[in-house]
Chains A and B, each alone.
Chain A
Amino acid sequence: MKNIENQIREAFEKLAPNQFEALLSKSKTEKGKEIVMVENKRQKNTLVTGIMALAAALVLFVGGAFGTNLYRMNYRVATQVSLDVNPSIAIHMNQKEKVLEVVPLNEDGKKVIGTMDFKGSSLEVTVNALLGSMLRSGYLNEIANSILVSVEGQDTATNQTVQQHITKVLEEVLQQEAFAGSILSQTLQPDESLQSLASSHQMSVGKAKMVQEMVAGTDKYTFEDLSDLSIHELNLMQQTAATPLEKLQSSGTASEKAYIGEDAAKEIVLQNLSLTEEQISGYHIEYDWEKGTFVYEMEFFAQGVEYELDINAATGEILKLEKEGKLVEKQPEGNPVQQSPGFLPAEKTQPDNISQSTAVSDTVIGEDSARTIALQHAGLTENAVRKFKCQLDREHGRMVYEIEFEAAGYEYDYEIEAKDGFILKAEKELD
């Protein structure tokens, strides 16, 4: 007979279901869900209480002159480290680089910390766990790969040591990821006015400092304008700016994967203006923040004319075109037919939510034809239809007419390809 213990093991190993695939997909949707250590806590607490009692006894025993020093070494915040990605988190440490407290500075920071408790942990463990949590929750990834580390304390030498230490820890963790990170770091002296500025904007002193410096050299934007940006966006801006921030140490470059890229932006512009690479000179491009949109700001000369453009960095839409200082804003939406290269109409329009075709436009069949196609498909006449709505929109990279109407108690919903009248979607629903 087989060994009985092996028999038990074999039976139960076979009994346990293999649901790894399900687990894997669930682990992706339930990232960051924290564990509830119900039973263990009680045991831990007694242990902690024991240690605390012992520590207290020790303090009493050592007593007197040493006591104050010991207190200072152990419980006073000597250095404050802050991590900003979009989550902002402050880590308070004592002189021995043991963590006293980890404080979320904004809502995202709260999510990252979750129920983790770092009291007494080493800085390394804490930074590791926080970074891990940010990666799991998707705050740091291929598209947004920048993190700002700020070390604030009285002692410059300590600040620098801590700065190097953390940067190294972060680099090590990020090395294991499939993407390259960009780490910005700085050391700061305590500054009360900066502190209050930071806390009123739910950010760390470090981020406040960075924003302050970026605003200092320009009157283009204020502190408020930039305070909502993530570190990644700020990093992109400072990286391409004419005067990068000197006080920041940086490693790696900010990822531009969320944006179309400088080359693509240039191509779009050249195509739209019917210009060639050879015709332009004095070309300059940088990231900028305009009225809540991340844009490429582009400048160049061509055929004796000075051009200045803003291009939506994510979509490639041309938001602003200035020629020789004369403002020519983009045309109203819904009529790309009229858009001929080089002559954007000078009408003023509200910026709206429809993103425009960026390349030279396709021809479209027109609203009337679209309406005829939809009605024919529905088997209805003009007169039978109520509440007719037709809108030209961009869907999944192509121009479509979105048509809605009601007839005989039904609601109809169509999507018709704008260039050839192909019916992409037809829905009929009881009203």
Chain B
Amino acid sequence: MLYFVSTLQGTYHRDAKLDMLLGRMAQHDTGALEAFYKDTKGAVFAYALSILKNPYEAEDVMQETYLSIYSAAGKYHSTGKPMAWVITITKNHCLQRIREQSRFDPRPWEELDLYLENKETLSVENKEVISYCLKQLKEEEQQILLLHTISGMKHREIAALMGLALPTVLSKYNRALKKLKEKLRDDSVK
């Protein structure tokens, strides 16, 4: 319970910080852009990856997304939900990219393993978590789990983003979390 309270506060502070950074970005403060980028890139990349299923495409979309965010920062009206705004922009860029590619990649995740291998900073455990989340979980579960854990978006915000009912989001989240826990426990038993 204590942990729960502290995450909530963490989220609250982070949203206020992101709001503030967006305000400064509207004045073309590139320092603010850098801080904003560092704070949010994990979630943006994970979300783009979940939709596009290709790390290189996700990298491209991530850059496009931040360019949009930077140039549109002046239009952001603080709603206290900066992350929802960021993720919506990410989603739009992903969908745009999918539309632009007439051929849809028939083999999703084909390039993921090699990509993970080349990331030297990732531990074995990190790679396992990533692979499992992306390859084993269903797309909806995966997005709900990633958005909440990485970006701190509230379940309510995720429900609105994905057009799902709040209870559905909650149950999918818990199911995904449980699956991942079991998987990791099984692995550590082996």
Contacts and interface: CB of A to CB of B under 8 A. Distances in A.
A39 interface: yes
B89 A14 contact: no
A10 B88 contact: no
Interface string B98-117: 00000000000000000010
Contacts of A36: 68, 92-93, 96
Contacts of A246: none
A32 B181 CA distance: 45
Contacts of A31: 71
Question: Which among B46, B71, B185 has the greatest number of chain A C-beta atoms within 10 A?
Answer: B71
B44 interface: yes
A123 to B, nearest CB: 15
Nearest to A173: B27
A176 B32 CA distance: 14
B177 interface: yes
B82 to A, nearest CB: 14
A379 B34 CA distance: 56
Interface of B: 3, 26-28, 30, 33-34, 37-38, 41-46, 59, 62-63, 66-72, 74-75, 77, 88-89, 91-93, 95-96, 116, 119, 121-122, 125-127, 129-130, 133, 145-146, 148-150, 177, 180-181, 184-185, 188
Interface string A25-61: 0110011111111111000000000000000000000
Given A12-B130, A38-B95, A116 B75 contact: yes
A13 B150 contact: yes
Interface in A380-431: none
A11 interface: yes
Contacts of B26: 128, 132
Nearest to A43: B160
Given A20-B34, A26-B63, A9 B89 contact: no
- Measured as residues with beta carbon below 8 angstroms from the partner, the interface class of chain A is 35 or more
25 contacts: A1-B188, A3-B3, A5-B149, A5-B177, A8-B149, A11-B130, A12-B43, A13-B41, A13-B150, A14-B121, A16-B42, A17-B62, A23-B37, A27-B30, A31-B71, A34-B72, A35-B68, A35-B89, A38-B92, A38-B96, A39-B88, A39-B92, A128-B26, A135-B28, A177-B27
Contacts of B148: 5
A116 B71 CA distance: 11
Contacts of A10: 126
A18 B69 CA distance: 17
Contacts of A16: 41-42, 44-46, 62
A128 B74 contact: yes
Contacts of A73: none
A154 B59 CA distance: 54
A12 B146 contact: yes
Contacts of B185: 1
A34 B68 CA distance: 6
Given A11-B130, A12-B42, A18-B41, A4 B184 contact: yes
Contacts of B28: 132, 135-136
Contacts of B133: 8
